[in-house]
Chain A
Amino acid sequence: MEKFHLIGSPKTPEIDFNGDTGILELRGRSIPENSVEFYSPLNKWLDDYEKQPHASTTVDVKLEYFNTSSSKCILDIFKRLEKMNGKATQVKVNWYFETEDEDMAEAGEDYQAIVELPFTIIEVDEI
């Protein structure tokens, strides 16, 4: 399967999704004005991935900031993976936050409370 890659910008995260390893990484900041438009290519790519997923799917979220409109789009991605989980692939989420950034840790817990996927909330020095 082709790899999905988007270069980061001051308002959008770098996204890497390798269909051969099942690893999806979001890194940086996600504060676009139009988040739905920004996340639409990733969603299209997920349509294909869904048909032939890797046995395990790992989502690594390494975000420094995200705006509220991105928060809905991130939830949409988790919701899609939630539906796939336990069928053709086993999904897990690693949610990273920088030491002392309790807001980002809380944001991960907020998703954990809403989505039925195994979450690991991981503290790191720097994202």
Chain B
Amino acid sequence: MFQNACIFGIPEMAITDVYDFYRKMEDEKIILSFKGEFTPDLLTSILNILETRMRTMGVERKKQKRVFNVLVECFQNLYHHIDERASDAAEVELQKSVLIMIKYAGDSFIVRTGNHLSNEVIPELRRKLAMVNALSTDELRGLYQAKLKNDQRSEKGTAGLGLIDIARKSGSKLEYEFLEIDKHSSFFCLNVVIE
């Protein structure tokens, strides 16, 4: 239903609007954006582009590494936590479709991601996000060590360290929003600022 509304509810973009679209991204200081199906190869390409870009921009090495780390964890979170229980092919495609934006404004990098989530996983994700946001740098480090030490892994081999690491490397609070699409799924937006 959501998909149809997008296709039929909004008039098709005129070809000249492409420039407006481009200008808007330029004004928003977006250095890279992607919408579509998320794959491991895509991550390799985006990292490659961004690394070269940061090097030519003369970004200090420490910040380059932090941006790189946040990107890797954000992307791999998307990759591992995409809701795959969708019932038909169109639904699966929608679930795999993500939005990634990287902004560079006033010496800060901003990594913004958007993806579909099953409503069932939201309470747990909210809890994790609230928890990392409530912790200080030292407390985050303590939690990271404790989780690393503890031998548990999820079915997908993820260690539950992703969000903690993103919070540690970004050095600022994670901003997020859940936009409900219907009774089954929501769109999750995450905004990570690397100062």
Chains A and B belong together in one complex: yes
Residues of A whose CB lies within 8 Å of any CB of B are 10-11, 31, 33-37, 64-65, 67-69, 71-72, 75, 98, 100-104, 106, 110, 113-114
Please determine whether B145 and A103 come into contact, CB atoms closer than 8 angstroms: no
Task: Name the B residues within 8 Å of A35 (CB-CB).
Answer: 157
Please determine whether A106 and B47 come into contact, CB atoms closer than 8 angstroms: no
Q: List 14 A-B contacts (CB under 8 A).
A: A11-B40, A31-B76, A34-B157, A64-B65, A65-B69, A68-B161, A68-B165, A71-B161, A72-B159, A75-B149, A101-B61, A101-B62, A110-B141, A110-B148
Additional 10 contacts, C-beta under 8 A, given A33-B40, A67-B72: A10-B47, A33-B79, A34-B157, A68-B73, A68-B158, A72-B159, A100-B61, A102-B62, A103-B62, A103-B69
What separation, in Å, do the CA atoms of A114 and B165 have in the docked complex? 17
Indicate whether A110 sits within 8 Å of B145 (C-beta atoms), given known contacts A34-B157, A72-B153. Answer: yes
What separation, in Å, do the CA atoms of A64 and B61 have in the docked complex? 11
- Residue B44 at the chain A interface, CB threshold 8 Å: yes
Please determine whether B61 and A69 come into contact, CB atoms closer than 8 angstroms: no
What separation, in Å, do the CA atoms of A34 and B80 have in the docked complex? 10
Task: Name the A residues within 8 Å of B44 (CB-CB).
Answer: 10-11
Selected from A10, A71, A98, the residue in CB contact (under 8 A) with B61 is: A98
What separation, in Å, do the CA atoms of A36 and B62 have in the docked complex? 28
Task: Please classify the interface of chain A as helix (H, G, I), strand (E, B), loop, or mixed, using the class held by over half of its residues.
Answer: helix
- Centre residue among A10, A67, A104 by max chain B CB count within 10 A: A67
Please determine whether B62 and A100 come into contact, CB atoms closer than 8 angstroms: yes
Task: Name the B residues within 8 Å of A64 (CB-CB).
Answer: 65
Chain B's interface size range is 20 to 34
Task: Name the B residues within 8 Å of A11 (CB-CB).
Answer: 40, 44
Task: Name the A residues within 8 Å of B80 (CB-CB).
Answer: 33
Contact digits for B129-164, partner A, Cβ 8 Å, 1 yes 0 no: 000000000000100110011000100011101101
Residue of B nearest to A110 (CB): B145
- Residue B48 at the chain A interface, CB threshold 8 Å: yes
What separation, in Å, do the CA atoms of A33 and B148 have in the docked complex? 18
Please determine whether A10 and B48 come into contact, CB atoms closer than 8 angstroms: yes
User: Which residues of chain B from 1 to 48 have any CB-CB distance to chain A below 8 Å in the complex?
Assistant: 40, 43-44, 47-48
In order of increasing CB-CB distance, the 10 nearest A-B pairs are A68-B161, A36-B157, A72-B159, A68-B165, A33-B40, A114-B149, A31-B72, A67-B72, A100-B62, A68-B162
